[in-house]
Amino acid sequence: QVQLQESGPGLVKPSQTLSLTCTVSGGSISSGNYYWTWIRQPAGKGLEWIGRFYTGPSTNYDPSLYNPSLKSRVIISLDTSKNQFSLKLTSVTAADTAVYYCARDPGYSSGWHYFDYWGQGTLVTVSS
Amino acid sequence: DIQMTQSPSSLSASVGDRVTITCRASQSISSYLNWYQQRRGQAPKLLIYAASSLQSGVPSRFSGSGSGTDFTLTISSLQPEDIATYYCQQSYNTPPTFGQGTKVEIK
C-alpha cells in the first residue's frame, strides 16, 4: 500500500521560500511510470494543481511540469535515495497560505490522469 | 485553463436518497473527468476516474456518467458516511483543474 507524508515548516515569512517534502513509502519513487504531484487548498476553498515530476524510462521530455500561474516561482524535485520529492515555492505572500498535499498520478502508462494516492496534507501559513 | 462548474454548491438529503451532482466543463474534455470525495479535515479521495470507472475499494453506490462537457456523479443511496464535499477534476489538458465543490449534508 503506497503512503505519502508531507513535512516542512508550518510558518513562512512573506517574500521567503516555502519548502516541503513528501516521503513515499510502500513503493519506490523511481520505479513505475508515475507523476509525483503537489496540490494546494486555501482554507475553505477549492483545489489548485501546482505541478508534477515524472519518473520513468522516457528521457524525451522535461520531467517537470508546472501550473503556468505559479511556474516562475515553483521547483519540484526528486531525491530517489530518500524516496522523497520536494516542493519549493519562492517569494511567497499571504495568498500562498494553504494546505499543501502531495499526490501520485499514474497517468503515464494508461493515459488517464488522476490522483490515486494523497498525503494527509500540511498547513503552511505565510505571515510575518 | 478549462473551467469546471459544479451544481449545486450544496445539498441536503435524507439517508437512503438518491443524490446527483453535476459538473460542466468550459470546453469538451471527452471522458477525462475524475471525481473526489473530501471529508472534513481529510485529504481528497478518488472515487471515479475516466468519467465512469469506479476506483478500487469505492462502494458501488457511487457511479459516474457523461462525456464531452456534462458529467454527473450519483450516489444511489446516501449513507451517513457520505457527508463530504465532492469535487470534479478535468485531466484533458494541463493544468488539471477542479470544480468548486459540492457539499453534501444529511437532512
pLDDT in tens, B11-50: 999 999 999 999 999 999 999 999 999 999 999 999 999 9
Q: What is the pLDDT of residue A5?
A: 98
Give the closest of A49, A116, A120 to B46, CB-based.
A116
Looking at the predicted structure, is the pLDDT value of residue A10 above 90? yes
Residue that is written with C-alpha cell 478535468 in the block? B90
Q: Which of B9, B42, B94, B97 to mutate to test the interface with A (most CBs of A within 10 A)?
A: B94
Mean pLDDT of chain A: 93
Counts for chain A of helices (H) and strands (E), in that order: 1, 11
Contact of A77 with A84, CB cutoff 8 Å: no
Of A46, A68, A119, the CB nearest to B95: A68
Structure-block grid coordinates of residue A42: 486555501
Structural contact between residues B100 and A46, judged by C-beta atoms closer than 8 angstroms: yes
Interval A31-57: pLDDT, tens: 878 999 999 999 999 999 999 998 876
